[in-house]
A and B are shown apart, each in its own frame.
Chain A
């Protein structure tokens, strides 16, 4: 394929504004008469609220109100974060918002928030995941869940969920969900294998660590419409969540998604119900900007997980059976968890003869679980890919050849019960096999090792629409409601340019809100370029039909004999007979004009996903005396379908790898036995800062997605999946020590080396 503009690296369209500080984020907008909210968070992980004393706070100068749940005009009785933005009777994690102080200034609200005294009657905190699921365990929530969640649940359910069942197993009331998938007799298949490996793998709660903390501003228009200007991944889902919370009709709410300062799965209607609730209660504009400490404590990080896994293979490396028991910590999220996703991804991009996997969603008194880049995938890959290395060792096979032998191709059955669509598992594994770093394995100094791992993300689907409009200056505007979370705008520009026949320099993207825009779902699931991009392609083609119709009249040539090249419509084979798009546009958008505006609307509704596979090589050096792991080099090979803008794709691959490095070596939200967060600041919570990240090679593999725009697919999530096991396998190669828990902190590596 050789479409113009596609596959050319160019700067992100949002970069100039961002690097010069011109971008106005959600906390920057000026709103007349704005009030500022400050949260009062629960200091205990599990307690009943006896009273909230607010007199002292209210007596402070500049304080307008101190709000508790009963003061918000809520139409709900449930216990999810939309239905219960402030705790009603029971607090279920330390950091849960209990009250909100509203001040004329942020400082006044902060001063007064110290004076709000929340009287709590302690209840037993449930913090141990394995203990929580035992029959008879103390419950993490005593007040019954009254109603189900709203649209958020269905968003996250987008990825295959298996079947929820309830065999005879005895479980405590903390187990909210049990997803069980079987095919054949896995135990027998494993027992009959030539080699069997098993292990228990643990991963902690992990924070999304976006740069911009959560923020939302809400006000009422004179007409009564609730307007929410916010940092979110999805404007329409935020609108429906607010409608549910406050019993408003959709047309009474307008959600404006402002430029996003990072989200990674964490920004879904958490703070909007708070800001909107205050604005509705007080009928004044209210802004809530979380501090970093609040953002650590009161939001929705990725859940901790315990995975028991057993796999087998025949002498020649053919995989036999896989058995998994996966305990997923949902914290206080009764609505959804990743037990469904993780228990399907634990099989990896491989063929198995039989499987028996079960995932449990368990409530505890830690946070409210939320999505984080490829939710449920890094945890599953850490377990599986670690064991595959052990299997290779036991069988005396090369780890990459072992994986290649079992890698799925299109049509192979996934354990979710659906056949895999086009997938580049073999291709990316071949790329890392042929990389010089893999060959360097045999000539390493002591204490160095190179590890490999692969993982995939299935990709998501959701119908979407977009609009493309050509102005009288010959430039095109793409109108979308999709939030640009990872550079998707820059992809849209190239898609529209190529589909229409206009230089990308002449295309810009504008973001519409829920009142004005064509529909686009939340940015997440690696589906925006794949689905909204497809709609943009359709819109640009529809606009092209209009420009050809006008040109056909002007040039007196049939549309079929015309082409649009770089902003010029010309006769195929006779480029001298031409007219520019600009001239044509000038003839349309004016009083008495003769042609329909050069404007198109496009939609998409793919039903087949486009999974993306990424394989990693990691080269480490381990200090045996201190346990420190130093990354020397890292390689990512990823199937991206089609690299619309290779620079952007590489950025995503690097970013994903870096967050995977965070999972591997640094990140953990740790609580004490009472459920108090111990690592609630960047002085305690380590992220992979620049000096700790090695050079990362990116190898782009293009296996076109049949249903994606120009073959492109979603690529944001796949590169994070298998980075951690590649590093774990490298540590094992360097030292012989196998770590079963993330992150691989120096103390853990040191201990593993001593045992």
Chain B
């Protein structure tokens, strides 16, 4: 459980970070909560770890009709953001509160969680329903990728080697919306066996995403969530079979929609 030998550099700004990341096998580190464990297991053997945790992409602010979440914002910092007091955005702190333990929430960042692309991570489901998009920057420039196109499969994303997430843009939901996140956790890892996020609009229509049951979190197509789940390609293992996960998913989907609908009535 000792990582392979590596070097450490602290980036002073974005350009410096991208410059340091030019080295082959360089790896950015934010809170280190996913990277350090995989380094200890020697699954990751970066030549250099580039510490981006002091860069400015941290905190939440409102610009126009979008909320912007800095990727270096920790899970704990997402818990008392005034904007998330709105029932329409309640899923964000609700989800963040259930992630890992206190130590993890104090160190782990939302950007690191996205980049790691764990198929059972919680927050991507919430961001999917909210229609969030990521701003990515590399020496080649800047691009914007919807969360739905960012995570490709287990632990793989569209992120290029010398690219960093620099912003998470969340469109402000319409007044009268409600959101919720409900999951059943694996008792050891705390990751979702099945998790569901829902955003219910003022018209009562629901957008729903699930996580934990497939190679990546995904949006459920259409309004008939049960059917959408029945046709989904669901993963199973000895702890929780595919049949069971599919059933769990339909339970958490229903509960998330119910809770989000309830909240929509309180949103203004």
Contacts and interface: CB of A to CB of B under 8 A. Distances in A.
Contacts of B1: 110, 291-293
Nearest to A681: B188
A107 interface: yes
A115 to B, nearest CB: 12
Interface string A696-726: 0000000000000000000000000000000
Interface in B169-194: 184, 186-189, 193
B248 A626 contact: yes
Given A107-B2, A293-B1, A746-B193, A692 B187 contact: yes
Interface in A620-640: 625-628
Interface residues of B, number: 20
B63 interface: no
A636 to B, nearest CB: 22
B241 interface: yes
Contacts of A110: 1-2
A679 B188 CA distance: 10
Given A292-B1, A747-B240, A686 B251 contact: no
Nearest to A106: B2
A628 B247 CA distance: 13
A358 interface: no
Interface string B234-268: 00001111001001100110000000000000000
A300 B233 CA distance: 39
Interface in A382-398: none
B160 interface: no
A750 interface: yes
A625 B247 CA distance: 8
A745 interface: yes
Q: Which of A627, A678, A746 has the most CB of B within 10 A?
A: A746
A685 B42 contact: no
A686 B252 CA distance: 22
A369 B171 CA distance: 57
Nearest to B241: A747
Contact of A670 (B4, B186, B238, B248): B238
A686 B5 contact: no
Nearest to B251: A625
A685 B241 contact: no
A679 B240 CA distance: 13
Interface string A380-416: 0000000000000000000000000000000000000
Given A678-B238, A685-B188, A107 B42 contact: no
B187 A626 contact: no
Interface residues of A, number: 30
Contacts of B186: 686
A451 B247 CA distance: 28
Chain A interface main SS type: loop
Contact of A746 (B4, B184, B188, B252): B184
A751 B1 CA distance: 38
A574 interface: no
B239 A747 contact: yes
A626 B212 CA distance: 15
B151 to A, nearest CB: 20
A666 B187 contact: yes
A319 B165 CA distance: 69
Given A111-B5, A114-B42, A750 B238 contact: no
A106 B4 CA distance: 11
Contacts of A111: 4-5
A627 B184 CA distance: 10
A750 B189 contact: no
B265 to A, nearest CB: 24
Contact of B184 (A626, A670, A685): A626
A292 B189 CA distance: 15
Contacts of B189: 683-684
A672 B251 CA distance: 29
B251 A626 contact: yes
B187 A665 contact: yes
A679 B248 CA distance: 22
A627 B248 CA distance: 9
Contacts of B193: 746
A747 B186 CA distance: 11
Contacts of A672: 238
Interface in A718-755: 745-747, 750-751
A203 to B, nearest CB: 16
Contacts of A746: 184, 193, 240, 248
A616 B225 CA distance: 43
A666 B2 CA distance: 28
B187 A686 contact: yes
Interface string B39-61: 00010000000000000000000
A665 B187 CA distance: 9
A670 B237 CA distance: 12
Nearest to A289: B1
Interface in B196-210: none
A628 B244 contact: no
A679 B187 CA distance: 12
A666 B244 CA distance: 18
Given A626-B248, A745-B240, 13 more contacts: A107-B5, A110-B1, A111-B4, A291-B1, A626-B252, A665-B187, A670-B238, A683-B189, A685-B188, A686-B188, A687-B188, A692-B187, A747-B244
8 contacts: A106-B2, A114-B42, A627-B244, A684-B189, A745-B240, A746-B184, A747-B239, A747-B241
| Closest CB pairs A-B (n = 5) | A686-B188, A686-B187, A291-B1, A683-B189, A625-B251
Interface of B: 1-2, 4-5, 42, 184, 186-189, 193, 238-241, 244, 247-248, 251-252
